[in-house]
Amino acid sequence: MEYIFSEIEKKWQEYWRENHTFKVTEDPSKPKYYVLDMFPYPSGAGLHVGHPLGYIASDIYSRFKKLKGFNVLHPMGYDAFGLPAEQYAIQTGQHPSITTENNIRRYREQMDKIGFSYDWSREVRTCDPDYYKWTQWVFIQLFRHWFNNRSGKAEPIEALVWEFEKNGNSNVDAAQDSCEKFSAAQWEKMSEKDQQLVLLKYRLAYLADTMVNWCPKLGTVLANDEVKDGYSERGGYPVEQKEMKQWLLRVTAYADRLVDGLDKLEWNDSLKEMQRNWIGRSEGAVIRFNLYPSAGTPEDTPIIEVFTTRPDTIFGCTYMVLAPEHELVEKITTPQYKNQVRSYLEETKKRTERERMADTKTITGQFTGAHAKHPFSDEKLPVWISDYVLAGYGTGAIMAVPAHDGRDYAFAKHFDLPVREVVSGGDISQGSYDAKSGILINSEFLNGLEVEGAIKKAIAELEKCGNGYKKINYRLRDAIFSRQRYWGEPFPVYYKDGIPYVLDEDELPLVLPEVESYLPTQKGEPPLGRAKNWNTPEGYPLELSTMPGFAGSSAYYLRYMDPDNDQELVSKKANRYWENVDLYIGGTEHATGHLIYSRFWNKFLYDTGVVCKDEPFKKLVNQGMIQGRSNFVYRIKGSNKFVSHRLKDSYNVTPLHVDVNIVHNDILDIESFRKWNPEYSDAEFILEEDGTYRCGYAVEKMSKSLYNVVNPDEIIEQYGADTLRLYEMFLGPLEQSKPWDTNGIEGVYKFLRKLWKLFFNEKNELDISDEKPTTGELKILHKTIKKIEEDIERLSLNTSVSAFMICVNELGAMKCNKREILSRLVVIVSPFAPHISEELWQLLGNNPSVTGASFPEVNPVFLSDDTIQYPVSFNGKTRLKIDFPADYEKEDIEKELLKNENVLKYLKDGTPRKIIVVKGRIVNIVV
RNA sequence: GCGGAUGUGGCGGAAUUGGUAGACGCGCUAGACUUAGGAUCUAGUGCCGCAAGGCGUGGGGGUUCGAGUCCCUUCAUCCGCACCA
């Protein structure tokens, strides 16, 4: 029998489908394990060879866990709302659901061919009303909750109303926008509308005027993580700042828990660090500076509040700076400086956000004429404005300490402002001393203290005199949740008298309406403005925005636990059983978007008792990117003549990308090349001595335009899915980026055929022996079982593939065809190459399927050898290898060594100064 | 600038705790069988050298009987953040 992968793979994929092999249900008799892939956005281009890398790894892990006796949840679905389908709809008029449906079908076909063990009965699609009903449901819950800073968790808004009725809001410590204090009596007197406006400031999903990232080309706002360097991540269009009324989610309320929670997670350090940076918690103090009254400014001079992480350097403050956008700028500028300030403001406004970010070297600023009063020394501090201070961070104002902050130093030098050293340890004539260590000087009551102590003391003194307080500040902003687009979840929100109200849960799902065009209306409303009867039954208008991409992906892992439940997002029973994701595999591009938002949603759902775990993803692994390996041909300039790689340097050539699919081992298939592009049909070639045309290569992004895209379908067509799976793993460590080079695939293909051949004799007949295996055979087997088990556990799947190769090579050399050996080998291979394993498992006479087998136990008896080969080194350099019985002690070995003539040869005449014997490992002789 | 990661043959990579550097595979070289083929099998393959031997994990230094692995320093590449007070 030949190894005909196409028949075998088809056969078993059908078997799995017909027998629902991968369907799982909650089974309390078994321990659970939840393995999740980041679900894909089904794009029109289909999967290339890089996409399934993570899916294959997680599939191997899932199949392995199942063999180890776990009840494994391993689902897949689609992140199906999104911009590309909608952009396509705008261009062609085709409804995005059709595009999406087609793309999903293609993805599914491609995935099915790879032989994944997904339980497709649990599939979710974010654009399915039965699914987004629950996205809308969570939104309603967010709307109905506020965050109590005292308890550190979300609480129902009713409780807040009750407190307002009893005591007003003075005892409430909530995560919220600034809200004026009111008493119970004042609350009672407010109109329904005013009460709602107050509550809106407390809700976890709230409507507010905010500066947003507006992308005119896409006609929508974007979240911070969807903007890269001032351009939209999708499409690369310019993004500008604009004030708009938008829905926001109060992620900032959870900032602390999001940072602290990271410590308990098994995520890699760089990812945790990215999240910490994104959240950007810094501990410091808010300090209030009174202004000295100056001629021409109002009597009730305002107070400037600054945020600083270095309150210890307060006596080093020699001036102050406000962001140009700061609300006090207008108020405090003295008449004398009005004109200069105005022209400075105009100039900064002209520079785009991007220019301001890119150009950090040019120092600009303008004195306002105002002076602030130092809270301790009463010193007069000039107040400047400059765009090096950001309006969006802290309070938009700083106390400048040029001696201990690089930017302040540069500014002070530029405008010739005083620099006063207050922490010893640096040389302030050369530059600022920013380090957080040293002894305080020139600082009155702080003198002599270390920085750490001085920070505490300074805050205590500020609090005592009422000029400041301790404060933790975050870089993280609340997430803007409105998109002025069509292809997304409609908000379950209607407006009464301009005030937003949410629908009742039993009115869900609020289904996305049909529109005749996907463009904004003439009034500039989002596309939903075109929908007919977009009102509640009572006639109240519904929200016109839709939700962003991260809405549907924020709780999808919960829905897989209980996908058909139409009463709850997830039942308590299912959630208690599956708890949370044990292993999550996906790309690093979601580090600050999806992975923050879903942690936030999960924590909220945990607070409200919907889920039992406060973190969604216990262990997370980022698979590396698969890069393309491009091939080049070299055309002699001004001709249609191509010169081979090694000869190209003697000609004046232009390198041109050539389709990697018509190049094998860097040798060009000239016939295919001629057919590839009519332009080359009569091309001429200057060949190598051996008559071949050699191409050059480079590692680049895998992209259509570079002709280096390799599709899994083509590989499967040629080598089969098992080979694809093995080769993707064999390429290198899962987390590392590496180039795809189809050239190497023959190696794993040969391995599979060698494995197959172990079962057949020379005449190609099935030939399995029931004889007892030899110790040698058992040693090979058990060594491999141990290695594979350890490798899979730490996701070192590239090394398991080589372990299999070694094992099969060794068994092949022994012509081993013992059932006891082969049947266990098939089981351990099955997570990697499931199709061939199923076939061999059946040929061994077992009932299908191998997925029901158990992972074989390692017998330690077969792991140890009677003799150990010791490498013997002299002064650390290995010279010879000598066998000693495994039970020999150090002394025995030493004795024998000195008798060994080879050793004596290396010793020459001298006696060894020292002999180091590490039992079972090595001998080192010092001479 | 800050933070993180990575540097090992012609190539992808291995070496899990400081203990034989280069496993496994590709490629290459030679040979065998051959309906000269992008098939299969066998042997070889880090570098220098005819050899003995020497050198070798980005560079330099250190700790150690012994360093790819630990420490210091430096360079390069990639990724993230970036005037964050």
Number of CB atoms found within 10 A of residue A560's CB: 23
Nucleotides of B under 7 A from a protein CB: 3-6, 11-16, 19-21, 23-28, 38-41, 65-67, 78-85
A24, A51, A53, A42: which is closest to A125 by C-alpha? A42
Average pLDDT over residues A254-266: 91
Closest protein CA to C1' of nucleotide B20, residue = A871
For residues A66 and A324, the model is more confident at: A66
Length of chain A: 927
- What integer pLDDT is reported at residue A351 of this predicted model? 65
> How many angstroms is C1' of B33 away from CA of A861?
43
| Cα A33 to Cα A581: distance, rounded to the nearest angstrom | 8
Average pLDDT over residues A184-198: 94
> How many angstroms is C1' of B3 away from CA of A278?
12
Q: What is the CA radius of gyration of chain A?
A: 35
Distances (CA, A) of A872 to A48, A814, A843, A875, A903: 50, 30, 47, 10, 8
- What integer pLDDT is reported at residue A99 of this predicted model? 94
| Cα A550 to Cα A190: distance, rounded to the nearest angstrom | 36
Given a cut of 60, is residue A297 above it in pLDDT?
no
Closest protein CA to C1' of nucleotide B85, residue = A308
Average pLDDT over residues A235-244: 78
| Cα A694 to Cα A814: distance, rounded to the nearest angstrom | 40
Which uninterrupted H or E stretch holds A160?
A: helix A157-167
E-strand ranges in A74-150 read 145-148
Instruction: Please state, rounded to an integer, the average pLDDT across all residues of chain A.
Output: 89
Q: Which nucleotide is nearest to A311 (CA to C1')?
A: B85
- What integer pLDDT is reported at residue A699 of this predicted model? 83
What is residue A479's three-state secondary structure? strand
Given a cut of 60, is residue A855 above it in pLDDT?
yes
> How many angstroms is C1' of B53 away from CA of A895?
29
Among A118-122, A504-508, A671-675, A843-847, the range scoring the smallest mean pLDDT is A671-675
Which residues lie closer than 8 Å to A272 by C-beta, 6 or more apart? Answer: A262, A265
Q: Which nucleotide is nearest to A803 (CA to C1')?
A: B24
Q: Which nucleotide is nearest to A747 (CA to C1')?
A: B25
- What integer pLDDT is reported at residue A875 of this predicted model? 77
Closest protein CA to C1' of nucleotide B26, residue = A744
Estimate the crossing angle of helix A83-92 against helix A96-114, to 10 degrees.
Answer: 130
Number of CB atoms found within 10 A of residue A663's CB: 26
Given a cut of 90, is residue A571 above it in pLDDT?
yes
> How many angstroms is C1' of B31 away from CA of A300?
100
Which residues lie closer than 8 Å to A158 by C-beta, 6 or more apart? Answer: none
Question: Sorting pLDDT into bands at 50, 70 and 90, what band is A181?
Answer: confident
- What integer pLDDT is reported at residue A220 of this predicted model? 80
> How many angstroms is C1' of B61 away from CA of A923?
28
The widest CA-to-CA distance across chain A, in whole angstroms, is: 107
Which residues lie closer than 8 Å to A882 by C-beta, 6 or more apart? Answer: A869, A870, A872, A896, A897, A900, A902, A903, A923
Closest protein CA to C1' of nucleotide B19, residue = A922
For residues A767 and A758, the answer to whether their CB atoms sit within 8 Å is: no
Question: Sorting pLDDT into bands at 50, 70 and 90, what band is A908?
Answer: low
Q: Which nucleotide is nearest to A280 (CA to C1')?
A: B84
Given a cut of 90, is residue A427 above it in pLDDT?
no
Q: Which nucleotide is nearest to A920 (CA to C1')?
A: B19
Pair of tokens at residue A49: 């060879």
For residues A172 and A163, the answer to whether their CB atoms sit within 8 Å is: yes
Q: Which nucleotide is nearest to A802 (CA to C1')?
A: B24
Closest protein CA to C1' of nucleotide B15, residue = A799
Question: Sorting pLDDT into bands at 50, 70 and 90, what band is A353?
Answer: low
Closest protein CA to C1' of nucleotide B83, residue = A388
- What integer pLDDT is reported at residue A61 of this predicted model? 97
Average pLDDT over residues A497-526: 92
- What integer pLDDT is reported at residue A524 of this predicted model? 81
Closest protein CA to C1' of nucleotide B81, residue = A277
Q: Which nucleotide is nearest to A313 (CA to C1')?
A: B85
> How many angstroms is C1' of B60 away from CA of A925?
29
> How many angstroms is C1' of B10 away from CA of A678?
34
- What integer pLDDT is reported at residue A756 of this predicted model? 93
- What integer pLDDT is reported at residue A352 of this predicted model? 58
| Cα A200 to Cα A831: distance, rounded to the nearest angstrom | 52
> How many angstroms is C1' of B69 away from CA of A230?
43
Token pair 């929908």 is found at A531
Question: Sorting pLDDT into bands at 50, 70 and 90, what band is A906?
Answer: confident
Distances (CA, A) of A348 to A240, A339, A392, A859: 15, 14, 15, 74
Given a cut of 60, is residue A194 above it in pLDDT?
yes
Average pLDDT over residues A195-211: 91
Amino acid present at A175: A
> How many angstroms is C1' of B47 away from CA of A879?
19
Q: What percent of chain A has pLDDT over 90?
A: 53
> How many angstroms is C1' of B71 away from CA of A915?
26
| Cα A631 to Cα A484: distance, rounded to the nearest angstrom | 43
> How many angstroms is C1' of B1 away from CA of A278?
18
> How many angstroms is C1' of B50 away from CA of A902?
25
Asked whether the CA dihedral A324, A325, A328, A330 is positive or negative, the reply is positive
Q: What percent of chain A has pLDDT over 70?
A: 97
| Cα A603 to Cα A145: distance, rounded to the nearest angstrom | 13
Q: Which nucleotide is nearest to A744 (CA to C1')?
A: B26
ipTM score over 0.90, yes or no: yes
> How many angstroms is C1' of B4 away from CA of A624?
15
Estimate the crossing angle of helix A96-114 against helix A721-730, to 10 degrees.
Answer: 90
> How many angstroms is C1' of B79 away from CA of A627?
14
Strands A153-156 and A877-885: unpaired
For residues A233 and A226, the answer to whether their CB atoms sit within 8 Å is: yes
Average pLDDT over residues A345-356: 69
For residues A31 and A684, the model is more confident at: A31
Phi, psi at residue A429, to the nearest 5°? -75, -20
Q: Which nucleotide is nearest to A351 (CA to C1')?
A: B83
Q: Which nucleotide is nearest to A664 (CA to C1')?
A: B38
> How many angstroms is C1' of B54 away from CA of A649?
35
> How many angstroms is C1' of B9 away from CA of A832?
29
Average pLDDT over residues A337-363: 75
Closest protein CA to C1' of nucleotide B12, residue = A731
Average pLDDT over residues A179-204: 92
Given a cut of 70, is residue A298 above it in pLDDT?
no
3-state helix, strand, coil in chain A (%, to 5): 40, 20, 40
Average pLDDT over residues A466-472: 88
What is residue A785's three-state secondary structure? helix
Which residues lie closer than 8 Å to A363 by C-beta, 6 or more apart? Answer: A386, A388, A410, A411, A414, A415
Q: Which nucleotide is nearest to A923 (CA to C1')?
A: B19
- CB neighbour class for A828 (10 Å; exposed up to 12, middle 13-18, buried from 19): buried
Which residues lie closer than 8 Å to A87 by C-beta, 6 or more apart? Answer: A235
Token pair 């969006």 is found at A392
The end-to-end CA distance of chain A, in Å, is 61
> How many angstroms is C1' of B50 away from CA of A905?
24
Amino acid present at A288: R
Q: Which nucleotide is nearest to A804 (CA to C1')?
A: B24
Closest protein CA to C1' of nucleotide B66, residue = A876
> How many angstroms is C1' of B69 away from CA of A731?
23
Q: Which nucleotide is nearest to A727 (CA to C1')?
A: B25
Pair of tokens at residue A466: 């009422």
Compute the half-sphere exposure of residue A576: CA atoms within 13 Å on the CB side of its CA.
6
| Cα A635 to Cα A616: distance, rounded to the nearest angstrom | 55
Given a cut of 60, is residue A354 above it in pLDDT?
no
Phi, psi at residue A634, to the nearest 5°? -120, 110
Q: Which nucleotide is nearest to A796 (CA to C1')?
A: B16
Among A40-54, A99-113, A131-145, A346-360, the range scoring the smallest mean pLDDT is A346-360
